[in-house]
Every structure is written in C-alpha cells, then in structure tokens.
Amino acid sequence: MVFEDLHEYLDFLGKNKDLVRIEDSVDPDLELTYLLSEEERVGKGRALLFQNVEGSEIPCVGNLFSTGEKMNAVLGGDAIEVGRRMKNLVRVPDNTESMISRGMEMLKELGGIRPKVSGSFGSSHHTLEKVDLDRYPIPRTWPMDAGRYITMPLVITRDPVTGQKNMGMYRMQVLDSETTGMHWQIHKGGAGHAAESRGRKEPMDVAVVLGSDPLSIFSSVAPLPDGIDEFSFRGLLAKKRFDLVRGDTVDLEYPKNSEIVLEGYVDPQETRMEGPFGDHTGYYSLEEEFPVFHIRKIIEKKNPIYPTTIVGKLWHEDVVMGKAIERIFLPLIQLQIPEVVDINTMEESVFHNMVVVSIKKRYPGQAKKVMFALWGLGQLMFSKIIVVVDDNIDIHDRKQVIWALSTRIDPQRDVFVVPGTVTDSLDHPSMLFNYGSKLGIDATRKGESEGYNRKWPDVLEMDDEVRKTVADKGKKLGLW
Ligand SMILES: Cc1cc2nc3c(=O)[nH]c(=O)nc-3n(C[C@H](O)[C@H](O)[C@H](O)COP(=O)(O)O)c2cc1C
C-alpha cells in the first residue's frame, strides 16, 4: 500500500494502535520532543500526535518511522526485498532471458519513475496572508540547542546549470518568523546547487515541504547517486507516478500532498552562525556558518499537520531509517563491489562512523581494495573506520566481530590510517571541520601471497556427523 498523504498514514497507524492522539496541552520547549524520545526509549515507539501544542493551533506529529514495522509499512515490504528490486532493475539480462519479457518487466518497474506535474493545488490548499513561522508548533529539542529547529523538512532545489532536482532533509534553525538557517552540509545535494549558484546575480530558489506522505519523507533521506532525483526514486519505490505541483514564486515543483510549503530563497553569498544543536551523534554540534533561508510565501493544506523528529541518542528513529537504507542499498553496493557479502553500518557508531564489511576474499590486498571502493561510493565517503572481515563472520553479531578483530589482525600490518580525507560534517574529533583522516582495519585471513609465512590456524568446528548424533543424544537424555 502506498500512503497518499500524511493523514492517510496516520489513519493507518491509528487503526494499528500505533498512534496516540494527545489532547492535553504540551509545551513545545523540550517537553514535546522528550515525550517522543521516551516513547522510543522504553521500546513502544508509537507515533504521537500532539493536538494541543502551547502557542499553536496546528497539531504536531512525531515518531513516524520509529519501528521496523512502521518502516516496512511505508516501504510496502521488507527493506531487503526493496533492495533486491533495485538490483534487479539495473541487472543486464543474461542470454537465456527473453528480451521481451525483460522489457515488459522493466516497463512495469519503471512506470512510476516520471512524476506528473500540474499547475496548482486547486481548492485543497491556500496561501497565508502573512509569512509567519510562529504559527507552527516548532519544538526546541535539547536544553543547549540554539533555538527552535525544523527537523523534518524536505528541502527542494534545482541545479542552476544542469536543471537536476534534489530533495534532502536538512534541519532549519528558526531565526525569526520569516527566516531560518539552512543546514545543508557541504557534501549534500542542496549545498552543491548553492555552490553552482554562487557568482550568479539571482539568489537560488528553494522550496521546503513540511509534511508529505511517508515514502517521500524517507526518500529525502536516501543517499541517492547524483543524477537520480528523490521524486523519481519515490515513484520507483511506489511503482506509481508522483503528483507534483509547480511553485508559485519559485521555479521548482513540490509534492501535491504537501501539508505546508515554504517558498523562498537562499542567497549563496549569505551565511550566519547555526547551532549548537543536539545531533545524531549524541553530542551538540558546534556553531558553524551556514546559509540562510528567506521565506517569501507559505501555502497550507486545510487542517495541516506539522511533522517533527528527534535525533540524539541510539534509540531514535534515525536508526530505523538508517538500517532500512543499509538494507536497500546493499545489493547496489554489491553490484559495484561484487565481493561484498554483507555490510553493517552500526547504530552505536552513528552508522557511517564505523562500518563492518564481510567479503569473499580471493586475492591479496582485496580488503584494502574494498575499503577504498567504499570510501569512494556516495555517502559511504563519511565512513571513518572500515573493518573488513571474511564471509565466515556474521557481522551483525557484535561478539563475532570483536572476536575477528582481536584474533585476525597484526596491528602493524593490518591497521592503517589514510590522512587528509573527507569527514562527515558531524565528525566532532577531526582536527578541521569537514577534513580529517580514515582508519582501515583488515581482519581477513592472510595468506602467503600477502607475505604471511606461518600457517594460519583453522577455526574450531565440530564434524557434522558428531553434531547430529549429539543433538539426538541431548534430546534423548533430556538435556536440551
Ligand atoms: C532526521 C534527519 C535529519 C538530518 N539533518 C541533516 C542536516 O541537517 N544536514 C544534512 O546535510 N543532512 C542531514 N540529514 C541527512 C540527509 O538528509 C541525507 O544525507 C540525505 O541523503 C541528503 O540528501 P542529498 O544527498 O540529496 O543532499 C538528516 C537526516 C535525517 C534522517
């Protein structure tokens, strides 16, 4: 099932007892987001719809993606299956396959890829008389945050040279009722478009959507390769063309199912201090210079709902989204680096900070080859530590990973540092902002071809026959 808009998704969650409607008054300053946080920490993770947020007439919803069940409902199935579909899409047909049936399959799969664009919303939406962000229940999340932040915006831009569209989720600090910060980090799509706009006389048009169907929200977070825009990706996932509307004061399109649209601009020459902000890493990101978003116009659906999210510690919903992304993109990684068997971007390491990969190793130096390939692949460029193990290690079992790490490396030979590299903007310990180093750990079995002249020890394994006999005997003896 593809949810047509946020309201339909909330109805679905309500029917599944996965949504709590809260009618009591709630303070948007720290209290609202901490309620969301605690709901997740205690393991319930229901979506909470706050219908009476102090200072606002508009309801606020959070925890939209907070459990694996919700994520699967949004994707219309398991993330692994979605990944297999993606891999099948780019597969070259083998010569046993009929070209006609492959063509038909592709047509069916690609049917949704081109969005449908129409001129206006019609009567479903209206323009506000005055730009006024203060009407929204925008929370402040952590005590030392610099202010209120829009945390789940879909930020839409267009490359002024190629016309390529982008939709990314970048937090926006409220500066006043008409202006916000725009925290697109330097490596991200929106920042790339702004860089292309520099030197042009006109500021760059930006549209921001607050609230859309959950698949569009998820698509804005997906680390897509350059050249694939999020609307097409959303259509691909949904197998259905997505309805967009042309902007009024911006040369951009945005989802017809938007709850709230902010049309405005970013002047690529203008920056202001942004932050601190309690971030995905569990620390406050420091103040840094970031661009500024000026709002020209606000368009609202009738009875809009404002979505929010909280990031900060391990149990928040960015973990659920991150895991879905890992599973969806694994088959595509395997297409480019075929020896990769599995990948674990670990939530304890805030995903990309430490990535464990298992490979089917065939030749000397292959673990390093995989590391460098991953560091060159999209947002995996942010992985600070990459650990490569053989495919007989279950990398989702932390005990096995630590065992392999401690028993299969000689530090002098197998641990290396790459200086002068890209770092994630959220990498707090790097010496410079956005610039630092990488650590590679090759925990694969070494052979003579890699200069290892001793005999590599065999791993303890019981014979199959004894295993079976003992299992039967254990049952007979009433042991297990
Ligand atoms: C809740 C949440 C908040 C995020 N905030 C930011 C942010 O403030 N700045 C940023 O650059 N990326 C942020 N991201 C990550 C981007 O959305 C993600 O890297 C996305 O793939 C960027 O898309 P792009 O490559 O099209 O720019 C956030 C992700 C999530 C889930």
SS3 160: coil
Confidence (pTM): 0.95
| Of 252, 229, 208, 243, residue with least CA distance to 117 | 243
- pLDDT at position 194, please? 95
What architecture is the 337-450 domain classified under in CATH? 3-Layer(aba) Sandwich (3.40)
- Which residues of the chain carry a pLDDT beneath 70? none
Helix, strand, coil % in the chain, rounded to nearest 5: 30, 25, 40
CB–CB of 377/330 below 8 Å?
no
In ligand 1, the atom with minimum distance to the C-alpha of 321 is 31
For ligand 1, atom 22, name the residue with the nearest CA. Answer: 168
442 lines ligand 1 (CB under 6 A): no
Report the pLDDT value the prediction gives residue 61, as an integer from 0 to 100.
Answer: 98
Ligand 1 centroid distance, CA of 169 (Å): 4
Question: Could you tell me the distance, in angstroms and rounded to a whole number, from the CA of residue 450 to the centre of ligand 1?
Answer: 40
CA of 352 to the centre of ligand 1 (A): 13
Does residue 188 have its Cβ closer than 6 Å to ligand 1? yes
CA 313 to chain centre: 16
- Position 96 scores a pLDDT of 82
DSSP code for 432: B
Please identify, by atom number, the ligand 1 atom nearest to the C-alpha of residue 166.
Answer: 26
Q: Is the CB of 233 under 6 A from ligand 1?
A: no
What's the rounded Cα separation, in Å, for the pair 30 and 331? 40
Query: Computed from CA positions of residues 171, 175, 179, 185, in that sequence, does the dihedral angle turn out positive or negative?
Result: negative
The alpha carbon of 279 and the centre of ligand 1 are apart by a number of angstroms equal to 12
pLDDT at 104: 83
| C-alpha span between 406 and 415 (Å, rounded) | 12
pLDDT in tens, 115-154: 999 988 989 999 999 999 999 999 999 999 999 999 999 9
Residue 97: predicted pLDDT = 80
Positive or negative CA dihedral for 46, 43, 81, 170? positive
Question: Topology of domain 6-307, per CATH?
Answer: Pnp Oxidase; Chain A (2.30.110)
171 lines ligand 1 (CB under 6 A): yes
Determine how β-strand 306-307 pairs with β-strand 60-62. Answer: parallel
| Cα 3 to middle of ligand 1, angstroms | 22
Domain extents for the chain? 6-307, 337-450
Omega of the bond prior to 160 within 30 degrees of 0, cis?
A: no
Q: Answer yes or no: is the C-beta of 166 below 6 A from any ligand 1 atom.
A: yes
Residue 227: per-residue pLDDT = 80
Backbone angles phi and psi of 373, in degrees to 5: -65, -40
DSSP 225: P
What's the CA-to-centroid distance between 381 and ligand 1, angstroms? 14
Residue nearest to atom 23 of ligand 1 (CA): 168
Q: Find out whether the beta carbon of 285 lies less than 6 Å from any atom of ligand 1.
A: no
DSSP strands (E only) in 247-285: 253-255, 260-274, 277-278, 284-285
Taking the CA of residue 230 as reference, the ligand 1 atom at the shortest distance is: 26
**Cβ of 190 less than 6 Å from ligand 1:** yes
318 lines ligand 1 (CB under 6 A): yes
Taking phi over 0 as left and psi of -120 to 50 as alpha, with beta for the rest, 302 belongs to: beta
The rounded Å distance from CA 145 to ligand 1 centre is 18
Residue 27 falls in the annotated catalytic set:
no
Indicate which residue of 18, 213, 279, 424 is catalytic.
279
Instruction: Name the token pair of 385.
Output: 């530590």
β-pair type (340-345, 354-359): antiparallel
What does the pLDDT look like over 294-331, one tens digit per residue?
999 999 999 999 999 999 887 899 999 999 999 999 99
Q: What pLDDT is attached to residue 112?
A: 83
The CB-side HSE value for 235 (13 A sphere, CA atoms) comes to 20
* pLDDT tens per residue across span 226-265: 788 999 999 999 999 999 999 999 999 999 999 999 999 9
Does the C-beta of 223 come closer than 6 Å to ligand 1?
yes
Protein residue whose Cα sits closest to atom 18 of ligand 1: 221
Q: Are 291 and 46 in contact (CB under 8 A)?
A: no
Exposed / middle / buried, residue 119 (Cβ in 10 Å: 0-12, 13-18, 19+): exposed
